[in-house]
Structure 1
C-alpha cells in the first residue's frame, strides 16, 4: 500500500511546484500552444496520480480486481505492492479518493451541461435571426459544410464563433465589423475564430473552469484556468497572423475594440444580449503589442524539449506506480 499513499504525495508536489514554476516562465507568450500543452500535462499528471492511487487502493480492497490486474504477472510482483497492508485505513483512503473523483466528475458534467444549454440557446437565437433558405431546408442531407457565416445587424463591431456538435461551425460577424474592417482584417478575424474551433478551445476552457470550481483552493487548477483563457487567445492570434500577417491581425484587434480602448477604463464594458463578453482592455492592448513587437518564437529544439518535459510529467505517476513491480522483475531476472 506504500504506492497508493506515495502517489497522492507526488500529485500534491506537482500541484504546488507546477504553477510556481510556470508562472515565472517568460516563454509562454512566445509559444502559447506549447505552454497550453505543458499546463495540460501538469494537470493530467496530478489527476493521474490520484487516479492511479485509487486503482491501487481498489485492487487492495477487491480481490477480483486484484487478480485481473496481476493475472499475467509473476506471484512476486503482486506481493511487492503489499496490498494486504493498511487495514481499515484502506477503506477510509478509498472513500476519500472516490469522493474527490465523484466531485470532479459532477463539476465536469455540470460545466458541460451549462455550456451546452448556452450554446444551443445562442444557436436558436441565431437561426431565428437568419432562418435557413428553402433550398437549404430541402437539401439538409447536403448541408455538411464545415462552417456557416452569419452577418448580424449591429453597429458594434463584433465577431465570434459558435461550435456545435453535428452542426456546421457558426461564424458570426456584425455589420459594424464588416463596415470597419478591411477584407484582409476580416479574413484574419475569421481565421482567429476558426483556430479556436479547430483546437477545441471551448472544451479546454470548460474543463479548466470545472476543475477550478471543484477545487478553488488548488493553485494549480485556478492558475490553469486563468492562463488557459489568455493562452488560447494568443494561440488563435498566432494562427491568424500566420495566414494573414501580424499587422492585419493587430489592426483587426484594434478596430474591433477601438471604442473600448479609447473609453475610460472605469466604464464597465457592455455588449449585446446573447453575444460573448468582450475581452478586458488590458488584454487586448497586450495582444496587439505582442503581435507588433513581440519576441520571436523559440527554436525547434527548445519547443521539442518543452514538449518532452510535458510528457515526462505524465510519465512520473506511471513510473511511481510500476516501480515496485519493475523492481521485483529485475530482481527475479538477476537471480535467474
Structure 2
C-alpha cells in the first residue's frame, strides 16, 4: 500500500517532467539532427506516453473515470478537428491547383505560373502532389532542381504531413503548455532534416545546400548577396548541412 501511495504521489511529478523538461531537453538534443527518423519515433513515443500519463492520473481514482473520459474525448476531439480543418484547406488548395497549375509529366510536378521561387508538397491521400513555381524553375539549375524535388518527394513518400498534423493537434490539445509548441516546432524541423538528407543522398550535400540558399534568398547568387537574412528555420538547415558536408580530400605534397 505504501508503494502504491508513493506511485500515486509521484505521478504529478512525472507529468510535470513530461510537460516541461523532457520536451525541452529533447528539442535541444544534438543527436536528433543526425538521426531525424529516430528522433521522429522518439517524439511520437513521448506524445503517447504523455497522453497516457495525463489520462492515468484521474483514472486512478474510482470517482474520476468521468474526468478521464472527458479528457480523452477532448484529446480525440482536438485531433479530429485539426485533421478535418487541415484536410479542408488542402482540398481548397487542390481545387485551385486544378485550375491554375499545369502538370509536367517529365518532372512529375505541377507548375504554377508565379515568379516567386517556391516548391512544396500538397497531401492528397495516397497521391500527394509536388508543386513548383515558374520562379523556382527559372532560378534553380538542373542539379539544384533535382535536390528540391527529392526533398519534396521525401515529404510525400514518408507522409510527413501526418507527423506534422499529429503534433499540430498535440499543440492544440495543450494550448497553455509551452511543450506543445516546442514539440510541434521540433517535429517540423525533423521532417525538414529528413527530407534534406534524402535530397543529399540523391544529389549531394553541396547541391542540396545550394538549393536551400537559392530558394531562401530568391537570388541566383545565393550567399553572394550579403543582404540575405534567412529565417531561423532555414539558417538551422544551412548550418546542419554545412556540419554534415563530407570532408574535402587532402592532397599530400610540397
Show the counterpart of 1:281: 231
Q: Which one of the candidate residues 21, 25, 32 is aligned to 1:28?
A: 32
Show the counterpart of 1:107: 78
Show the counterpart of 1:173: 132
Show the counterpart of 1:252: 211
Contact 1:195-1:239 at 8 Å conserved across structures: yes
For residues 256-275 of structure 1, the aligned pairs below 5 Å read 256-259=215-218
For residues 1-336 of structure 1, the aligned pairs below 5 Å read 2=4, 5=8, 8-9=11-12, 10-51=14-55, 90-91=62-63, 93-130=64-101, 148-166=108-126, 168-259=127-218, 281-294=231-244
Contact 1:215-1:221 at 8 Å conserved across structures: yes
Contact 1:11-1:47 at 8 Å conserved across structures: no
Q: For structure 1, which runs of at least 5 residues remain unmatched after alignment?
A: 58-88, 133-144, 266-279, 297-336
Q: Quick one: structure 1 residues 6 and 48, their matched pair in 2 at CA, closer, same or farther if it must change by over 3 Å?
A: farther
Q: Secondary structure at the match of 1:150?
A: strand
What TM-score, normalized to structure 1? 0.62
Distance 1:99 1:127 in 2: 42
For residues 19-46 of structure 1, the C-alpha deviation after alignment (integer angstroms, 9 at most, x for no partner) is 2432442222222222222222111111
Q: Secondary structure at the match of 1:157?
A: coil
Shift of 1:111: 0.6
For residues 252-300 of structure 1, the C-alpha deviation after alignment (integer angstroms, 9 at most, x for no partner) is 11111223885575xxxxxxxxxxxxxx62321231232123388xxxx
What TM-score, normalized to structure 2? 0.80
Q: Quick one: structure 1 residues 6 and 45, their matched pair in 2 at CA, closer, same or farther if it must change by over 3 Å?
A: farther
Return 25-34 or 179-188, whichever deviates more: 25-34
Contact 1:11-1:46 at 8 Å conserved across structures: yes
Contact 2:155-2:161 at 8 Å conserved across structures: yes
Q: Secondary structure at the match of 2:121?
A: strand
Q: Point out which structure has higher relative CO (alpha carbons under 8 A, 6+ apart).
A: 1
For residues 164-206 of structure 1, the C-alpha deviation after alignment (integer angstroms, 9 at most, x for no partner) is 115x321111111111111111111111011111222111111
Q: Secondary structure at the match of 2:69?
A: helix
After superposition, the CA RMSD in angstroms is: 3.0
Q: Quick one: structure 1 residues 164 and 24, their matched pair in 2 at CA, closer, same or farther if it must change by over 3 Å?
A: closer
Q: Secondary structure at the match of 1:216?
A: coil
Alignment coverage as a number of residue pairs = 236
Contact 1:103-1:214 at 8 Å conserved across structures: yes
Q: For structure 2, which runs of at least 5 residues remain unmatched after alignment?
A: 247-254
Larger Rg: 1
